[in-house]
Every structure is written in C-alpha cells, then in structure tokens.
Chains A and B, each alone.
Chain A
Amino acid sequence: MITAGMDLGAKLIKVVIVSDGKVIARVKKTSGFEQDVSASEAMKEALEQAGVTADEVDRIVATGAGRNFAPFAHDRLTEVGAAARGAIARLPEARTVIDVGAEEGRAILITPEGRVKDFAVNEKCAAGAGTFTEAMARALEVPLEELGALSLTSDKAVPMNAQCVVFAESEVVSLLHARTSKRDIARAVHDAIASRIVSMARRVSIKPEVVLIGGMAFNVGFVESLKRTLEMEVHIPEEPDYVPAEGAAWAAYDKVAGKAAVDVQE
C-alpha cells in the first residue's frame, strides 16, 4: 500500500510518501504565487524520488492552511490532527505535541493512536510565536540564526517585563542601555516565549513525552528554555518540519487500512 501526505503552508509545501509502513520520499518546495502549481510539482518530484507512479498511490491526504486548494487530495486533515498523527509515528510514547511556528503556537494533547484529545492555539498575539525572536534579533542586532546559540552561552536569568513584542523591543533597548549583555537578553527572550507557550500548554495539561515541532524546533536556545520551563525532556524529531506532512500520509494509510485512527474529511 502506498499513500501520500501534503502539507500546504503559507511559505512551504511538503510532500511525504509512505509505503508499507515506511517513509520512502520527502520533498520540500516554496509555495510561490501559484500554490497549486507548486504542489503539483512537489508531488511529481516526490513520486520520482519514491520511484512510483501516480496511479500506484492509493490515497492522498492534504493538510496545512492551503489544504482546501490541494490538487489530487482525497481527504483533508487539520494541521492539529496532522501534527498529532505525525508525532506519534515518530515517537510512539509522545503524548504532548508543541508546535511553534512563525506566527502561531499550538499545544496538542494526543492519544497513543495519534488522535487529538485537546489542544490550545495562540494566533492572536505574536509574543508566543517565532516572530518574537525575529523582532528581538533585530533589536539586538544579532543574526536570527545565531540568537539561539548565543542564548546558550548565558548563565543568568534576566527577567523581561514586557509580554508584547512591540513593548519588548523597547525593553531590549533599555536593557542594552543598562549594559545587560546580549547573551543574557537572548536567553531572556527565549525564556519569555517558552513561558508563554508553557502557560498555554498547561491549559490543556502537559503529559510526557513532549515533542516539539515547527520552525522554533530548530532554535537551540528556545529548546533549552522550553526544557527549563517545563522541567521535562523535550524531544525534537529529526527533520521536524516534515512531521505534519508525514502525519497526513499516515492518516491516509490508516484510512486505506481501515483503521481510521484520525478523523479525515473527504
């Protein structure tokens, strides 16, 4: 049996192909102006990589913000559902998925089958999302990619009073004026996001094991702050950005196998 999952995000499209219980292809492409064209291209590449033809694919499930516009998809799955199913495929012991992207943060409580039990989303405020680090890196005049590593060199917890990104930018400037070191400020920034994410996650309760996905999983400074705030181990799957696309592929797999662990919409 061969199934595919597509994750159509605002910036990137990912396609994963699963065959007989194993991932056999992964492709990432920028969404561009015509998302459906890029999606078709990504699917074509993935099929080539897997060495299979389109006819051999039994079922395709789409997820992500653009899931309703996905070509070829048989079913659709929410981002939360895809993250849950993908996380359990990577780590069967996973019970909480924390997904922090550029503009959204989510905490998802999942069952051993990869079903969503409960979840919380922050989509109103940039303070609990990746954008926060972008703004702070700018205020600190540190390249964004270096902010995480820089914060690891700090051994001091400097409190940040501001919750709002706009106010935090002024606070960072004040901290710099007060001669606080950039590394301590970098840590304070990651601690602040972690604390917001954790308080959101506590609303749905946090059960081990915890899996972190989304762009912020690549930020070592944030990962460290999250572990410290949670007082728990945090697992980062290898290539965390593929987890939702993989979840979609597994949801398709479940459906064909008649297991239907995850509710997909036809």
Chain B
Amino acid sequence: MTQEYWRWKEYNWHDEKIDPRAGKSISAGCDVGSVSSQAAIMVDGQLYAYSNMRTGSDSPNSAMDAMNWALEDTVLKIEDLHYVVGTGYGRVNVPFAHRAITEIACHARGANFMYGSSVRTILDMGGQDCKAIRCDDRGKVTNFLMNDKCAAGTGRGMEVFADLLQISIEDVGEMSFQVDKEPEPVSSTCVVFAKSEAAGLLRSGWPKNLVLAAYCSAMSHRVFTLLERLGVEKEFAITGGIAKNVGVVHRLEDELGMKSLKSDYDTQIAGALGAALFAKALYEKQQAGK
C-alpha cells in the first residue's frame, strides 16, 4: 500500500481520575467537520473524555463513530449523557444531539475554556474553512470573518501539499524550519496553482524543506490578511488542526508581531468542547425549569 502522507493520527482519551458516576451533569459535544469529527464529554464542567477522527462519507455515522470512540473504555454509555450539542458543518445530522449550535459560537466558547477568559481573538483553522473570531471575556462571539470557499489557508490545502511532497503532515511544520534562509512565499493563492508552482520549484532543484517553508509562509500570510480585516485584539489563540503546525503558527506570530496562547488541551477539540459547555448550561437550565 502506498503511504498516505496527508493522514494524521486519530485518537481517543479519557481521564481515569474522574468518576463520571459521581457527577451531577454529564454533557457532551460533537463537532462534525468537513474533514475531521470530534466528540468531547464533560463531567460537571471538567473534560472527561474525547476523540478525534476523520469524517466519513456521511455525517450521522461520523458523529456516532466519534462519540462511540470517545466513550470507549470509559464507564459511560451513550444513554448516560444528559445533554448533547451538535456543531460543525454536519451539526444538524448528529442523531443523538438535543440541539445544534454553530461552530463559530462553539469555538469561541471552547477557546475561552481552553485558553482562559483573556482570549479576544481566535483563529480557527479547520479542514475546509478558516475563521477569524472576536469574542468577549465570557467567550461570546462579537464578530467574525470566514473563508469557506477556497482551500488556501485550510487544513485540506496542507494535506494536498504533504501528499505532493511526500512528507507526513505531522512533520511539515518542523521540516519547514530546516532551511538556511526563509524563501519567498509561494505566489499562487489557489492550491491547484500552488501545487504546479511547487512542482516547478522542486524541478529547479529546491529541496523539499524549502518548498514547505515557502508554502507555510504563503498560508500564514493568507490567514494573516483574514485576521487583519477583522482586527486582532490581545490575547490571541489558534484552534483547529493547523494550530499543531508550527511552520504556519510561528510564521503567523512573526507577521502579527504577537504570540499565540498555548494550552494543554488538544486544539482540534475546541469546537466539541465548546458544544459540551453549551450542553452543560442547557442541561442545568432544563433541570432548573423542572
């Protein structure tokens, strides 16, 4: 079998130290994106378990798979979840969700939890879109801009490049710094044209690292312009898969003249986490109304 360089690791995790049976509220979020799906489960507002996997060809199954995987090896079953919120582009197709909330709202809410209440600007770099979000100290969205029409500046665009250069997507960021001098960014915006441009650079003798540097820098510039249009207010955080690509993150920080906040939480679960936080609030409201 040929190696699939674009393929990133899928995983699940749960916290052994938490006894979910003792919790008053068990809330969950399920983020069905165009490329990846995540499920997050919280017990009394603390992250208990999560999963991250590739979205399949239909949303309901992907939602189910992600949630079942998050629940795997835990003491919980899907019936034990008190309240579930679906989010992401497939949010209306989460069969076990009580409610659907947009991923913009969920990302802001999730980032507020992950990075603390000082976050005012969030860049969510997803699989097929890129969003710049401004929020207040409670993680409520005040403004946002989004590119969902074009693969430039998205995870899918990076996957295409990883495949072209035959470099595992998880190594792209580190490798892009193994250059003596920072090259000019790839000039084409369109990923299709950028691919031809990169092929030309390789033919003319550029090493792969240098081409990766040129592409990471083009991508960072692309999302920089989106952030500029929205206006960046401190503190700044990046969520989504590309947040794990230091090649893009460091170059973007340089261009912005601002560091992004770091978190121990997985940057890809921001949406699912935000959804689980909304689920908790909605569950508590429901209980209070009874």
Contacts and interface: CB of A to CB of B under 8 A. Distances in A.
Contacts of A126: 190, 192-193
Contacts of A165: 151, 190-192
Interface string A97-140: 00000010000000000000000000011110001000100000
A177 B58 CA distance: 9
Interface string B152-164: 0000110010000
A173 interface: yes
A125 B147 CA distance: 14
A140 to B, nearest CB: 16
Interface in A163-190: 163-167, 170, 173-174, 177-178
Contact of A166 (B57, B58, B157, B196): B157
Contact of B149 (A103, A131, A164): A164
A260 B151 CA distance: 45
A163 B150 CA distance: 7
A125 B222 CA distance: 14
A131 B192 contact: yes
Given A125-B190, A126-B193, A177-B57, A170 B156 contact: yes
Q: Name the interface size band of chain A.
A: 10 to 19
B128 interface: yes
Interface string B96-137: 000000000000000000000000000000001000000000
A173 B149 contact: no
Interface in A123-159: 124-127, 131, 135
Interface residues of B, number: 17
A127 B150 CA distance: 9
Chain A CB within 10 A, most for which of B58, B149, B160: B149
A163 B149 contact: yes
B192 A167 contact: no
Given A126-B190, A126-B192, A131-B192, A167 B57 contact: no
Interface in B211-232: none
Contacts of B263: none
B156 A135 contact: no
Given A125-B190, A126-B190, A177-B57, A166 B149 contact: no
A252 B139 CA distance: 66
Contacts of A174: 57
A166 B156 contact: yes
A231 B103 CA distance: 39
A166 B189 contact: no
Contacts of A164: 149-151, 191
Interface string A62-77: 0000000000000000
Most A-side CB within 10 Å, residue of B156, B191, B192: B192
Interface of A: 103, 124-127, 131, 135, 163-167, 170, 173-174, 177-178
Interface of B: 34, 57-58, 128, 149-151, 156-157, 160, 188-193, 196
Leading 6 A-B pairs by shortest Cβ distance: A166-B151, A126-B192, A177-B57, A164-B151, A126-B190, A125-B190
